Amino acid sequence: MNAINYGTSESMRTLQQLWRRYHAVLAYLFFGGLTTVVNYVVFGITNLWTPYLVANTIAWLLSVLFAYVTNKRWVFDAQTSTTGAVLKEVTSFFGFRLLSYFIDQLIMIIGISWLGGNPWLVKLIDQVIIVVLNWFFSKLFIFKNR
């Protein structure tokens, strides 16, 4: 019985160490996945009645709002104590997301208009690329030193 308990507690310590070490990456993957779902679902719904670039813009806006809240609170645990610091953080977050928005739109134009790809497949490939870009933007520039 002691060997089982020892192994279990040792495994638990190892998991806790891994969680502490990779918390931001794991949380970003989880919430980035949810952000991608928000983006993909909103795109799919709005693309039924609007052109794909308009649908992509609406999906981008709603998913960026979702991403800001989740990234600030649960991924990077960003504590901003002044209005000026919050404004700087929001400006930085949306500024870099705006950069990824233009890359997003370019991928959609190339994939759908130029190459004639399926909008759902192009959007899926697009989101994988954008999630990776946004991780680097967030980690290196927006929520640094947190």
* pLDDT tens track for 107-119: 999 999 999 999 9
Separation of first and last alpha carbons in the chain: 42
Output the CA–CA distances (angstroms, integers) from residue 115 to 3, 35, 107, 111, 126, in the order listed. 60, 26, 10, 5, 14
Residues 6+ apart with CB under 8 A from 40: 59, 123, 124, 127
The pLDDT value given to residue 71: 76
Contact 117, 67 (CB under 8 A): no
What HEC string does 39-75 produce? HHHHHHHHCCCCCHHHHHHHHHHHHHHHHHHHHHHHH
Could you report the per-residue pLDDT of 81-103, keeping only the tens digit for each? 678 877 887 888 888 889 889 99
Distance CA 137, CA 120 (A): 25
Tokens matching residue 129? 């690329």
User: How does pLDDT run across 6-55, given as a tens digit for each residue?
Assistant: 556 788 888 788 777 777 777 778 888 898 999 999 999 999 999 999 99
Q: How far is CA 102 from CA 44, 56, 109, in A?
A: 19, 11, 10
